[in-house]
Chains A and B, each alone.
Chain A
Amino acid sequence: MSRPQILATDLHYRYPDGMTALAGASFAIHHGERVAIVGANGAGKSTLLLHLSGVLQPSQGQVTIDDLPVTEKTFTTVRQRVGLVFQDPDDQLFMPTVLEDVTFGPLNLGVPPEESQRRARECLEQVGAWHLRDRPPHRLSAGEKRRVAIAAVLAMAPDVLVLDEPTTGLDPRGRRQLIQLLKGFPHTRIIASHDLDLVLELCPRTILLHAGKIAADRPTVELMRDDQLLQRTGLERPLSMQCCPICNNK
């Protein structure tokens, strides 16, 4: 078995106000894997994702990316390798226009302006948002914002894509477009989501968080059949795996 790309060992984290968010989480993710992170609200999903990109440092335990330990000192390297797409795209699109937002990352990394623009174009075209390049973010729809935020992260040329609740606020078409988009990426993908049907469709493996600990780390289909586990951890089956509400077929 090849070395894991992401290795989390016994992660503990406590917020400044004393609340424990992670109470010992460990897992290993390999190149190219597609892993979902699920759990009830407050289970610690977002906190875990912030640890993977080095924004937060654990009070105990460690994260390594390709054998590089994630610390305050290595943050500058880690943040380029792990691209984090935030839950609220308004937090992530902070420049006056879409193009300026997508070039923000490469320019900060020291990529020359022309090359940055070329990369931005490539990434925007990949998500189907090149025509929006001169728009200010506040005049984009929720779906457009999401796609632009992804493009902005892609422009950093990361190895890993981490997404926090990517389908929140999207209408059915927007959601479908997003799922198609995510299917096509070559990166290692880690997706935290309440949208269990997306999880079922996109990620063969699921990590279930409960009260800051990993309650399960299994193939998705298997986990989604474990009704007792799902109940205990505040979840239920994906809608596509539940009884049909029309004909009530099990």
Chain B
Amino acid sequence: MSGGDQAFLEPGLLDRLGHGDSSIHRLDPRAKLVVTFAFVLVVVSHDKYAVSALVPFFLYPAALLALSGIPVGQLVRKLVVTAPFALLVGLFNPLLDRAPLLELAGLEIAGGWVSFLSILLRFALTISALFLLVATTEIPALGRAAERLGVPRAFVVQLLMLYRYLFVLADEAARMARGHRLRGARRHPHWRVFAQMIGQLLIRALERARRIHRAMLCRGFDGRIPLLAELRFQARDWAFLLGWIAAFALLRFAEPAQLLGKLVLGGGA
């Protein structure tokens, strides 16, 4: 997780993007959620040495980027920032899997490098899909979609409450952290200081919870949060859902990259 002020700004950034307006933004959140999930499943279902088969899948994030108006720079930044863990682990692949897998222009390429490349592609694809989902769908809409798709109500209510108050508390935490940095201390607080800081944060949080509870009671709260779930699937949502799932299935099983390669190289490659 990135530290510093950037981490505090991140949710706000994605939240603002999610409230934008484009043909993608206006799609039913259920359709987007299901398609994203399907995309991720199909991508990770590939063999660990799959490389060419994965490349055509970039069609999906590319299409979404084009239609939604989400700045490409934001996506790239996200990819760069979240890369470390998976790549660090993946880097062991070339070290451990030395058996040559294929020959390219007279050079023997170890299986480990191929699988590492596969990891890079998987990473880019799955993170892009997730980023674009959140960048084109606000969290409350995702919550409503989840509820309609069968997620227990208590959990959806919790997600919405969390979403509502995380900006408020993240603000408080950011101010606290900034205050600490401004007093000339080193970059990250010692754990004891940190414990004090979040202890304060916790007390304030608990008191806020009490006040919120009172406010809820004053407006008739009886334990159940009424949710106005107004989601209706339209033709374009069906088109999006079925169209993309068909595309993923095609790309997965027909391997157009191989076909194209064979076509270009005139058969027998």
Contacts and interface: CB of A to CB of B under 8 A. Distances in A.
Contacts of A182: none
A138 B168 contact: yes
Contacts of B220: 76, 79-80, 104-105, 108-109, 156
A155 to B, nearest CB: 9
Interface in B23-68: none
Interface stretch (A20-28, A94-102, A172-180, A202-210): A94-102
Interface string B62-105: 00000000000000000000000000000000000000000000
Interface stretch (A30-38, A82-90, A239-247): A82-90
Nearest to B144: A96
Given A55-B214, A156-B220, A138 B167 contact: yes
Q: What band does the interface of chain A fall in when counting residues whose beta carbon is under 8 Å from B? A: 20 to 34
A136 interface: yes
Interface stretch (B192-200, B222-230, B243-251): B222-230
A157 B76 CA distance: 51
A91 B215 contact: yes
Interface of A: 50, 53, 55, 75-76, 79-80, 83-84, 86, 88, 90-92, 94-97, 99-100, 103-105, 107-109, 113, 136-139, 152-153, 156
- Interface of chain A, helix or strand or loop or mixed? helix
A236 to B, nearest CB: 29
Interface in B139-189: 139-140, 143, 160-161, 163-165, 167-168
Given A91-B212, A100-B228, A138-B167, A53 B218 contact: yes
A46 to B, nearest CB: 10
A104 B208 contact: no
Contact of A100 (B139, B221, B227): B227
Contacts of B262: none
